């Protein structure tokens, strides 16, 4: 929708240009969807020329301005060696398809925009948090800092970004990209907003990482040195997720989200246990 209070659109990615009343504009699909009656300027970062996706030995760097469509296409167009080695890329289409937004919106909306919106059900938050993504943040003082995505989203619509700070990129480390993964999601409607979105991962050293999103107000990660038993997993879930952390909005009652989290976590555990033993026998 229109935002008539906006008096200027500035093409910049320099946090030094930011002042109160400004908003960073990437795809714009969140800003223009909710509208605003107070914003004065939009700082358009899409002209910064950031490479959307950069592969290196260290992993995959995803620019904040990488569109969902570009990310979705990546597994299919990545070099064969990368595709074979980075098994966790299987999560990319699954997470993209967890958007309520249609593929048309993917043509415009960005990975960074989804993370910075801070929605509990943000599928890019889920994807990048689950793979231990590290966010690079540019600050107004000309400095930059790094923070795990899992710590960047801190509540419903809340992030650890200070005013004027700009998410530059998220890097997914190669070790996590090589992991075996499992994905589960529940929603109140067939292709609707996630009520619970869980991703499990087993790294090369056997470490098991379970990332809970959508069901909780912020991402919650559980780490185990090896695949836990169902009992151990349940115990950790109840220990690490306080009652008030279960998300409560029209997309699912907190109690339902809690049960779905337990159910999906166990499904993930079982799937990774089964695929692990199959792999071991090969």
Q: Is 256 in the site for other proteins (CB under 8 A)?
A: yes
CB of 73 to other proteins, least distance (A): 12
Could you tell me which of 70, 76, 65 has the C-alpha nearest to residue 115? 65
CB of 58 to other proteins, least distance (A): 32
276: exposed, middle or buried (C-beta count within 10 Å: 0-12, 13-18, 19+)?
middle
Considering only the stretches 80-88, 101-109, 224-232, 270-278, report the one whose residues sit in contact with other proteins under the rule CB under 8 A: 101-109
Binding mask 1-30 for other proteins (x = CB under 8 A): xxxxxxxxx---------------x-xxx-
Buried b (16+ CB within 10 A) or exposed e, 22-44: bbbbbbbbbbeeeeeeebebbbb
Distance CA 231, CA 90 (A): 28
Name which position in 186, 194, 211, 261 contacts other proteins (CB under 8 A): 186
Closer of 126 and 134 to other proteins (Cβ): 126
Name which position in 17, 32, 75, 140 contacts other proteins (CB under 8 A): 32
Q: Is 72 in the site for other proteins (CB under 8 A)?
A: no
In the sheet that holds 41-44, the strands lie side by side as 8-11, 41-44, 22-25
Buried b (16+ CB within 10 A) or exposed e, 231-251: eebeebbeeebeeebbbeeeb
The helix or strand, by DSSP H or E, that contains position 69, with its residue range, turns out to be helix 68-77
Phi, psi of 239 (to 5 degrees): -75, -40
Name which position in 39, 136, 160, 227 contacts other proteins (CB under 8 A): 39
Closer of 19 and 259 to other proteins (Cβ): 259
- Please give the residue ranges that form the binding site for other proteins (CB under 8 A): 1-9, 25, 27-29, 32-35, 37, 39, 41-42, 44, 46, 97, 100-105, 107-109, 186, 188-193, 195, 249-250, 252-253, 255-257, 259-260, 263
């Amino acid at each position: 929708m229109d935002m008539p209070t906006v008096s200027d659109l500035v093409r910049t990615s320099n946090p030094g240009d930011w002042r109160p009343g400004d908003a960073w504009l990437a795809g714009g699909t969140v800003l223009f969807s909710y509208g605003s009656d107070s914003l004065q300027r939009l700082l358009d970062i899409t002209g910064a020329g950031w490479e959307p996706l950069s592969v290196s030995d260290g992993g995959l760097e995803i620019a904040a301005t990488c569109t969902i469509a570009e990310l979705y296409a990546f597994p299919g167009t990545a070099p064969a060696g990368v595709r074979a080695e980075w098994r966790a890329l299987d999560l990319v289409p699954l997470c993209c398809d967890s958007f309520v937004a249609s593929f048309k919106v993917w043509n415009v909306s960005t990975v960074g925009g989804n993370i910075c919106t801070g929605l509990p059900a943000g599928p890019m938050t889920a994807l990048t948090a689950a793979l231990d993504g590290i966010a690079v943040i540019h600050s107004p003082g000309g400095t930059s800092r790094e923070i795990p995505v899992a710590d960047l989203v801190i509540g419903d619509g809340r992030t650890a970004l200070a005013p004027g700070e700009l998410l530059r990129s998220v890097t997914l480390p190669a070790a996590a990209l090589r992991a075996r993964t499992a994905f589960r999601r529940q929603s109140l409607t067939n292709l609707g907003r996630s009520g619970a979105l869980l991703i499990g991962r087993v790294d090369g050293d056997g470490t098991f990482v379970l990332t809970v999103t959508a069901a909780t107000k912020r991402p919650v990660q559980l780490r185990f040195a090896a695949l836990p038993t169902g009992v151990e997993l349940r115990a950790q879930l109840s220990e690490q997720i306080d009652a008030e952390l279960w998300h409560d909005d029209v997309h699912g009652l907190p109690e339902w989200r809690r049960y779905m989290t337990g159910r999906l976590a166990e499904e993930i555990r079982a799937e990774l246990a089964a695929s692990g033993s199959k792999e071991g026998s090969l």
